[in-house]
Amino acid sequence: MIEFMGKQLKNPLIASSCIATESVSNVLRLAENGVQGAILKSCADYERGKVSGKREFAVDSTTGYTYASAPFGSEILTLEECLDLLHVLRPQTDILLIPSFTAASLAPDKWIPACKKIEEASADGIQLDFFYMGNLIGTNGLSESIVTLLRELGAALNIPVMPKLNINLPKDFIMPLLVEGGVQYVSLLDSVRSPYLRRENGVYQISERLDADTTSCFGHWQLPLTIGYTYTAAKYGLKVCAGGGVTCADDVQKLLATGAVTVQSATYLTKYLNRGNKLLLI
Ligand SMILES: Cc1cc2nc3c(=O)[nH]c(=O)nc-3n(C[C@H](O)[C@H](O)[C@H](O)COP(=O)(O)O)c2cc1C
Protein backbone atom coordinates (compact mmCIF):
# COMPACT_ATOMS: atom_id res chain seq x y z
CA MET A 1 0.00 0.00 0.00
CA ILE A 2 1.12 3.53 -0.76
CA GLU A 3 0.27 6.40 1.59
CA PHE A 4 -0.46 9.75 -0.05
CA MET A 5 -2.35 12.72 1.38
CA GLY A 6 -3.74 10.63 4.20
CA LYS A 7 -5.09 7.79 2.03
CA GLN A 8 -3.85 4.27 1.37
CA LEU A 9 -3.57 3.73 -2.39
CA LYS A 10 -3.73 0.37 -4.17
CA ASN A 11 -1.39 1.58 -6.92
CA PRO A 12 0.57 4.79 -7.54
CA LEU A 13 -1.47 6.11 -10.48
CA ILE A 14 -2.92 9.62 -10.32
CA ALA A 15 -4.59 11.54 -13.15
CA SER A 16 -2.90 14.90 -13.83
CA SER A 17 -4.82 18.13 -13.98
CA CYS A 18 -6.03 18.25 -17.60
CA ILE A 19 -9.05 17.55 -19.81
CA ALA A 20 -9.33 14.05 -18.32
CA THR A 21 -10.10 15.56 -14.90
CA GLU A 22 -12.42 18.43 -15.73
CA SER A 23 -15.74 16.58 -15.77
CA VAL A 24 -17.58 14.27 -13.39
CA SER A 25 -17.96 11.53 -16.00
CA ASN A 26 -14.26 11.52 -16.90
CA VAL A 27 -13.11 11.40 -13.26
CA LEU A 28 -15.54 8.55 -12.45
CA ARG A 29 -14.32 6.66 -15.49
CA LEU A 30 -10.72 7.07 -14.35
CA ALA A 31 -11.71 5.81 -10.89
CA GLU A 32 -13.50 2.78 -12.39
CA ASN A 33 -10.28 1.93 -14.23
CA GLY A 34 -8.25 1.92 -11.02
CA VAL A 35 -6.76 5.42 -11.00
CA GLN A 36 -6.30 6.29 -7.32
CA GLY A 37 -6.56 10.05 -7.45
CA ALA A 38 -7.48 12.95 -9.71
CA ILE A 39 -5.83 16.33 -9.70
CA LEU A 40 -8.78 18.30 -11.04
CA LYS A 41 -8.43 20.70 -13.96
CA SER A 42 -6.98 23.99 -12.67
CA CYS A 43 -9.36 26.74 -11.61
CA ALA A 44 -9.02 30.45 -10.89
CA ASP A 45 -11.28 32.99 -9.24
CA TYR A 46 -10.16 36.06 -11.13
CA GLU A 47 -11.68 37.34 -14.36
CA ARG A 48 -10.74 35.06 -17.22
CA GLY A 49 -9.43 36.93 -20.25
CA LYS A 50 -11.29 36.95 -23.52
CA VAL A 51 -10.78 33.72 -25.44
CA SER A 52 -7.23 34.13 -26.67
CA GLY A 53 -6.93 31.15 -28.98
CA LYS A 54 -8.42 27.85 -29.92
CA ARG A 55 -8.47 24.99 -27.43
CA GLU A 56 -7.48 21.72 -29.02
CA PHE A 57 -6.62 18.17 -28.05
CA ALA A 58 -6.23 16.06 -31.12
CA VAL A 59 -5.32 12.42 -31.60
CA ASP A 60 -4.51 11.49 -35.18
CA SER A 61 -6.48 8.31 -35.79
CA THR A 62 -3.94 6.75 -38.14
CA THR A 63 -0.63 7.70 -36.52
CA GLY A 64 -1.72 8.14 -32.88
CA TYR A 65 0.09 11.49 -32.63
CA THR A 66 -1.31 13.83 -30.02
CA TYR A 67 -1.44 17.60 -30.11
CA ALA A 68 -2.68 20.01 -27.44
CA SER A 69 -3.16 23.73 -27.40
CA ALA A 70 -4.85 25.23 -24.37
CA PRO A 71 -4.78 29.02 -24.00
CA PHE A 72 -5.66 30.23 -20.48
CA GLY A 73 -8.68 32.32 -21.41
CA SER A 74 -10.54 29.50 -23.08
CA GLU A 75 -9.79 26.55 -20.85
CA ILE A 76 -9.38 27.20 -17.14
CA LEU A 77 -12.28 26.39 -14.77
CA THR A 78 -13.85 29.02 -12.54
CA LEU A 79 -13.67 28.41 -8.79
CA GLU A 80 -17.43 27.76 -8.79
CA GLU A 81 -17.07 25.12 -11.53
CA CYS A 82 -14.37 23.42 -9.48
CA LEU A 83 -16.45 23.48 -6.28
CA ASP A 84 -19.43 22.04 -8.19
CA LEU A 85 -17.23 19.23 -9.50
CA LEU A 86 -16.10 18.43 -5.95
CA HIS A 87 -19.64 18.50 -4.54
CA VAL A 88 -20.87 16.06 -7.17
CA LEU A 89 -17.84 13.78 -7.12
CA ARG A 90 -17.20 13.50 -3.37
CA PRO A 91 -20.24 11.33 -2.53
CA GLN A 92 -19.59 9.11 -5.57
CA THR A 93 -15.94 8.14 -5.19
CA ASP A 94 -13.31 7.68 -2.50
CA ILE A 95 -10.29 8.29 -4.75
CA LEU A 96 -8.10 11.28 -3.87
CA LEU A 97 -9.71 14.46 -5.14
CA ILE A 98 -7.11 17.19 -5.46
CA PRO A 99 -8.38 20.43 -7.01
CA SER A 100 -5.80 22.69 -8.62
CA PHE A 101 -5.90 26.43 -8.05
CA THR A 102 -4.06 29.31 -9.72
CA ALA A 103 -4.06 33.03 -8.91
CA ALA A 104 -2.94 36.21 -10.60
CA SER A 105 -0.06 36.85 -8.17
CA LEU A 106 1.79 35.19 -5.28
CA ALA A 107 0.12 37.44 -2.67
CA PRO A 108 -1.36 35.09 0.00
CA ASP A 109 -4.71 36.94 -0.01
CA LYS A 110 -5.17 35.90 -3.65
CA TRP A 111 -4.97 32.22 -2.65
CA ILE A 112 -6.17 31.69 0.91
CA PRO A 113 -9.93 32.49 0.65
CA ALA A 114 -10.37 30.27 -2.43
CA CYS A 115 -8.26 27.46 -0.97
CA LYS A 116 -10.37 27.54 2.22
CA LYS A 117 -13.53 27.12 0.11
CA ILE A 118 -11.91 24.18 -1.67
CA GLU A 119 -10.98 22.63 1.69
CA GLU A 120 -14.57 23.07 2.95
CA ALA A 121 -15.79 21.22 -0.14
CA SER A 122 -13.93 18.07 1.10
CA ALA A 123 -10.83 18.15 -1.04
CA ASP A 124 -8.02 15.84 0.09
CA GLY A 125 -5.36 18.37 -0.84
CA ILE A 126 -4.84 21.30 -3.21
CA GLN A 127 -2.43 21.58 -6.12
CA LEU A 128 -0.98 25.09 -6.48
CA ASP A 129 -0.60 25.81 -10.18
CA PHE A 130 2.04 28.44 -11.08
CA PHE A 131 2.10 27.63 -14.83
CA TYR A 132 -0.42 30.25 -15.91
CA MET A 133 1.52 32.96 -14.04
CA GLY A 134 4.23 32.92 -16.72
CA ASN A 135 7.93 33.03 -15.93
CA LEU A 136 8.36 34.21 -12.35
CA ILE A 137 12.16 34.00 -12.32
CA GLY A 138 13.68 37.47 -12.08
CA THR A 139 10.72 39.05 -10.29
CA ASN A 140 11.69 40.97 -7.15
CA GLY A 141 11.69 39.00 -3.90
CA LEU A 142 10.53 35.79 -5.58
CA SER A 143 12.07 33.39 -3.03
CA GLU A 144 10.54 35.27 -0.09
CA SER A 145 7.15 35.48 -1.82
CA ILE A 146 7.05 31.73 -2.46
CA VAL A 147 8.06 30.85 1.12
CA THR A 148 5.57 33.34 2.60
CA LEU A 149 2.73 32.04 0.42
CA LEU A 150 3.43 28.42 1.33
CA ARG A 151 3.76 29.14 5.05
CA GLU A 152 0.56 31.20 5.17
CA LEU A 153 -1.38 28.57 3.23
CA GLY A 154 -0.02 25.90 5.58
CA ALA A 155 -1.18 27.89 8.60
CA ALA A 156 -4.64 28.62 7.13
CA LEU A 157 -5.49 25.09 5.93
CA ASN A 158 -5.84 21.65 7.48
CA ILE A 159 -5.26 19.81 4.19
CA PRO A 160 -1.90 19.67 2.40
CA VAL A 161 -0.97 21.93 -0.48
CA MET A 162 1.08 20.53 -3.35
CA PRO A 163 2.89 23.06 -5.59
CA LYS A 164 3.04 22.05 -9.27
CA LEU A 165 6.45 22.73 -10.76
CA ASN A 166 7.28 23.81 -14.29
CA ILE A 167 10.64 24.33 -15.99
CA ASN A 168 10.50 28.07 -15.29
CA LEU A 169 11.12 27.08 -11.65
CA PRO A 170 14.56 25.40 -11.84
CA LYS A 171 14.77 22.35 -9.59
CA ASP A 172 17.79 23.40 -7.52
CA PHE A 173 16.22 26.82 -6.93
CA ILE A 174 12.72 25.69 -6.00
CA MET A 175 13.17 22.55 -3.84
CA PRO A 176 14.85 24.27 -0.86
CA LEU A 177 12.12 26.94 -0.95
CA LEU A 178 9.40 24.28 -0.80
CA VAL A 179 11.10 22.77 2.25
CA GLU A 180 11.47 26.21 3.87
CA GLY A 181 7.80 26.89 3.11
CA GLY A 182 6.87 23.74 5.04
CA VAL A 183 5.24 21.72 2.24
CA GLN A 184 5.44 17.92 2.14
CA TYR A 185 4.10 17.24 -1.34
CA VAL A 186 5.16 18.34 -4.82
CA SER A 187 3.55 17.76 -8.21
CA LEU A 188 5.69 17.78 -11.34
CA LEU A 189 6.43 18.44 -14.19
CA ASP A 190 4.17 20.73 -16.18
CA SER A 191 4.13 20.77 -19.99
CA VAL A 192 7.43 21.06 -21.87
CA ARG A 193 7.16 21.46 -25.61
CA SER A 194 9.93 19.95 -27.70
CA PRO A 195 10.13 21.02 -31.32
CA TYR A 196 11.93 18.92 -33.95
CA LEU A 197 12.60 19.34 -37.65
CA ARG A 198 10.42 17.65 -40.24
CA ARG A 199 10.55 17.85 -44.01
CA GLU A 200 7.42 18.81 -45.89
CA ASN A 201 7.34 19.49 -49.64
CA GLY A 202 11.13 19.68 -49.62
CA VAL A 203 11.22 22.26 -46.85
CA TYR A 204 12.33 21.70 -43.25
CA GLN A 205 9.88 22.94 -40.67
CA ILE A 206 9.67 22.91 -36.91
CA SER A 207 7.17 20.37 -35.63
CA GLU A 208 6.03 19.62 -32.11
CA ARG A 209 4.85 16.11 -32.92
CA LEU A 210 7.03 13.15 -32.18
CA ASP A 211 6.87 9.39 -32.17
CA ALA A 212 3.30 8.51 -31.30
CA ASP A 213 3.96 5.51 -29.09
CA THR A 214 6.79 6.82 -26.98
CA THR A 215 5.92 10.45 -26.41
CA SER A 216 3.28 12.51 -24.69
CA CYS A 217 1.88 15.76 -26.09
CA PHE A 218 5.04 17.33 -24.87
CA GLY A 219 7.56 15.15 -26.56
CA HIS A 220 10.56 13.10 -25.63
CA TRP A 221 12.29 15.91 -23.75
CA GLN A 222 9.76 15.70 -21.00
CA LEU A 223 10.49 12.37 -19.27
CA PRO A 224 14.23 12.97 -18.66
CA LEU A 225 13.38 16.39 -17.20
CA THR A 226 10.68 14.83 -15.02
CA ILE A 227 13.19 12.25 -13.79
CA GLY A 228 15.70 15.00 -12.93
CA TYR A 229 13.11 17.02 -10.97
CA THR A 230 11.89 13.87 -9.21
CA TYR A 231 15.40 12.91 -8.13
CA THR A 232 16.09 16.36 -6.67
CA ALA A 233 12.68 16.64 -4.97
CA ALA A 234 13.09 13.20 -3.35
CA LYS A 235 16.58 14.18 -2.18
CA TYR A 236 14.98 17.11 -0.33
CA GLY A 237 12.58 14.69 1.38
CA LEU A 238 9.49 15.78 -0.58
CA LYS A 239 6.70 13.32 -1.45
CA VAL A 240 6.59 13.49 -5.22
CA CYS A 241 3.62 12.98 -7.54
CA ALA A 242 5.76 12.69 -10.67
CA GLY A 243 4.69 12.82 -14.28
CA GLY A 244 5.25 14.46 -17.61
CA GLY A 245 6.20 12.19 -20.48
CA VAL A 246 4.76 8.98 -19.01
CA THR A 247 3.57 6.72 -21.82
CA CYS A 248 3.94 3.16 -20.51
CA ALA A 249 4.33 1.06 -17.38
CA ASP A 250 8.13 1.15 -17.76
CA ASP A 251 8.08 4.96 -17.44
CA VAL A 252 6.06 4.59 -14.23
CA GLN A 253 8.69 2.16 -12.87
CA LYS A 254 11.49 4.60 -13.76
CA LEU A 255 9.83 7.40 -11.79
CA LEU A 256 9.16 5.16 -8.79
CA ALA A 257 12.79 4.02 -8.86
CA THR A 258 13.87 7.68 -8.93
CA GLY A 259 11.95 8.39 -5.72
CA ALA A 260 8.37 9.28 -6.73
CA VAL A 261 5.62 8.13 -4.35
CA THR A 262 2.86 8.45 -6.95
CA VAL A 263 2.94 8.87 -10.73
CA GLN A 264 0.66 11.11 -12.79
CA SER A 265 -0.35 11.18 -16.45
CA ALA A 266 -2.28 13.67 -18.57
CA THR A 267 -1.76 12.99 -22.28
CA TYR A 268 -1.96 9.21 -22.02
CA LEU A 269 -5.17 9.23 -20.00
CA THR A 270 -6.79 11.94 -22.14
CA LYS A 271 -5.88 10.08 -25.31
CA TYR A 272 -7.48 6.85 -24.15
CA LEU A 273 -10.52 8.53 -22.60
CA ASN A 274 -11.06 10.39 -25.85
CA ARG A 275 -10.80 7.29 -27.97
CA GLY A 276 -13.21 5.42 -25.73
CA ASN A 277 -10.54 2.76 -25.25
CA LYS A 278 -9.80 0.91 -22.05
CA LEU A 279 -7.04 2.68 -20.15
CA LEU A 280 -3.97 0.58 -20.75
CA LEU A 281 -1.63 1.67 -17.98
CA ILE A 282 -3.35 -0.42 -15.35
C1 LIG B 1 -4.95 19.72 -22.69
C2 LIG B 1 -4.16 19.85 -21.45
C3 LIG B 1 -4.61 20.68 -20.42
C4 LIG B 1 -3.84 20.83 -19.26
N5 LIG B 1 -4.31 21.61 -18.25
C6 LIG B 1 -3.61 21.70 -17.08
C7 LIG B 1 -4.14 22.41 -15.97
O8 LIG B 1 -5.21 23.01 -16.01
N9 LIG B 1 -3.41 22.43 -14.83
C10 LIG B 1 -2.21 21.78 -14.71
O11 LIG B 1 -1.59 21.81 -13.63
N12 LIG B 1 -1.68 21.10 -15.76
C13 LIG B 1 -2.35 21.05 -16.92
N14 LIG B 1 -1.84 20.33 -17.97
C15 LIG B 1 -0.50 19.74 -17.84
C16 LIG B 1 -0.58 18.31 -17.36
O17 LIG B 1 -1.13 18.21 -16.07
C18 LIG B 1 0.82 17.64 -17.36
O19 LIG B 1 1.64 18.29 -16.42
C20 LIG B 1 1.51 17.70 -18.71
O21 LIG B 1 0.58 17.43 -19.75
C22 LIG B 1 2.65 16.69 -18.81
O23 LIG B 1 2.17 15.39 -18.59
P24 LIG B 1 1.87 14.35 -19.80
O25 LIG B 1 3.18 14.14 -20.52
O26 LIG B 1 1.37 13.13 -19.11
O27 LIG B 1 0.88 14.99 -20.70
C28 LIG B 1 -2.61 20.16 -19.14
C29 LIG B 1 -2.17 19.30 -20.17
C30 LIG B 1 -2.94 19.14 -21.30
C31 LIG B 1 -2.47 18.21 -22.37
* CATH number assigned to the domain comprising residue 166: 3.20.20.70
Q: What string of H, E and C letters represents the secondary structure of 155-218?
A: HHCCCCEEEECCCCCCHHHHHHHHHHCCCCEEEECCCCCCCEEEEECCEEEEECCCCCCCCCCC
CA proximity to 63, closest of 189, 181, 184, 214: 214
Instruction: Give this prediction's pTM.
Output: 0.90
Decide whether any atom of ligand 1 lies within 6 Å of the 22 Cβ: no
pLDDT of amino acid 199: 77
Ligand 1 midpoint to CA 164 (Å): 11
Q: How far is the CA of 190 from the centre of ligand 1 (A)?
A: 6
Whether 122 is in a domain gets the answer yes
| Ligand 1 centre distance from Cα of residue 169 (Å) | 16
- Residue 90 is predicted with a pLDDT of 97
List Cα–Cα distances, 158 to 39, 124, 155, 181, 233, in angstroms. 18, 10, 8, 15, 23
Contacts 24+ apart (CB under 8 A), 85-90: 85/22, 85/23, 85/24, 85/27, 85/40, 86/40, 86/118, 86/121, 86/122, 86/123, 87/121, 88/24, 89/24, 89/27, 89/28, 90/121, 90/122
How does strand 7-9 pair with strand 66-69?
A: unpaired
Residue 70 lies in a domain: yes
Cα-based torsion angle of the residue sequence 199, 202, 206, 210 in order, rounded to the nearest 10 degrees: -10
In a domain, 115, yes or no: yes
In a domain, residue 264? The reply is yes
The residue contributing the CA closest to ligand 1 atom 19 is 190
* Enclosing domain of residue 130: 2-275
pLDDT the model gives residue 116: 98
CA distance 267 to 59: 10
Q: Is residue 16 part of a domain?
A: yes
Confidence at residue 282, expressed as pLDDT on a 0 to 100 scale: 36
For the chain, what is the domain count? 1
Low-confidence ranges of the chain (pLDDT < 70): 48-74, 194-197, 206-220, 274-282
pLDDT score for 133:
84
How confident is the model at residue 182, as a pLDDT? 98
Quick check: is 182 in a domain?
Answer: yes
Asked, for residue 281, whether it belongs to a domain, the answer is no
pLDDT at 142: 96
Given this model, what pLDDT does residue 15 score?
97
Q: Is the C-beta atom of 243 inside 6 A of ligand 1? A: yes
Whether residue 282 is contained in a domain is answered as no
Report the 3 state secondary structure along 51-65.
Answer: CCCCCEEEECCCCCC
